[in-house]
Amino acid sequence: MLGTMPSSLHHQAVERLGTRIVEGDLPAGDIVLAEQLEAELGVSRSVVREAVRVLQSLGMLEATKRVGIRVLPPSSWNAYDPMIIRWRLAGQGRGEQLRSLTELRTAVEPMAAELAALHAPDSTRQQLLETAEQMRAVGRAGDLQTFLELDIRFHAMVLASSGNEMFARLADSIAEILRGRTDLGLMPDHPHEQAMQWHVEVAAAIHARRPEAAREGMDRIMRRTEAELETVWQGKTRAFGSIA
């Protein structure tokens, strides 16, 4: 996609600009010029152009002819994009980001589990059960990295197995917050035994085609997650968008 452009320079430019916008160092409404970014980032015009193109696709920048590059407000950002989620988790917006995605998960994942119990293919049901059992084994062993990857796989499989394509598209966003929770030290050294058991029970309910039990089990998981994380976002203001 980037041709012969050094991907590391492109990546660094995207990361630096994206982080500055998220942190407010480049506030909404500011106009910056390509040559200004070249000098600040120490990169070529082509690298700046590609970085701006990526951030435009995320709704963070808008290039205007004969004016410059305008920084757009958070209401324009693609709030589901994993890069924006990662930048927010790493900065001052951590609490708000954890809250919004955890609330989204609490609303969506129990329904996804119910639908998976109704619609998942037999092969997927078996894979879910095996994944949940593996999670419990590595969790008891204290292997947090392997547990994380299995946890990401488990929740992505539930979302995809719902047969709802919009639920399935949330998998990358949820993976980013699961990674962030581990990277930020918000996971215990050993995952809770009860939580691991609940994952097994959700998988077993989906395997047995018991939609109500699958929904209730996933709701328990998400309610516990909320309870564990709510201190991180206490006192954080909510963003309210206007309705046109």
Instruction: Let me know whether 71 and 165 are in one domain.
Output: no
Instruction: Let me know whether 221 and 161 are in one domain.
Output: yes
Please indicate whether residue 243 or residue 68 has the higher confidence score (pLDDT): 68
| Residue 145 located in a structural domain | yes
Full domain range(s) for residue 66: 7-76
**For residue 75, how far is the Cα from the chain centroid?**
17
What integer pLDDT is reported at residue 6 of this predicted model? 46
| Residue 244 located in a structural domain | no
Q: What is the mean pLDDT of the chain?
A: 92
Please indicate whether residue 239 or residue 140 has the higher confidence score (pLDDT): 140
**Residue 142 pLDDT exceeds 60:** yes
What integer pLDDT is reported at residue 243 of this predicted model? 53
At 244, is the pLDDT very low, low, confident or very high (cuts 50, 70, 90)? low
Q: pTM of the predicted model, to two decimals?
A: 0.89
Angle at which helices 94-119 and 171-183 pack, to 10 degrees? Answer: 130
**Residue 132 pLDDT exceeds 70:** yes
**Residue 59 pLDDT exceeds 70:** yes
In the chain, how many domains are there?
Answer: 2
Instruction: At 168, list the tokens.
Output: 């399935």
* DSSP line for 83-122: HHHHHHHHSTTHHHHHHHHHHHHHHHHHHHHHHHHHH--H
| Residue 186 located in a structural domain | yes
Percent of the chain past pLDDT 90, that is, above it, reads 82
Q: What is the mean pLDDT of residues 61-89?
A: 94
Burial class of residue 162, CB neighbours in 10 A (0-12, 13-18, 19+): buried
| Residue 88 located in a structural domain | no
**The domain that contains 211 carries what CATH number?**
1.20.120.530
**The domain that contains 67 carries what CATH number?**
1.10.10.10
Instruction: Let me know whether 142 and 209 are in one domain.
Output: yes
Segment 7-49, tens digit of pLDDT: 688 899 999 999 999 999 999 999 999 999 999 989 999 999 9
| Residue 241 located in a structural domain | no
Instruction: Let me know whether 39 and 152 are in one domain.
Output: no
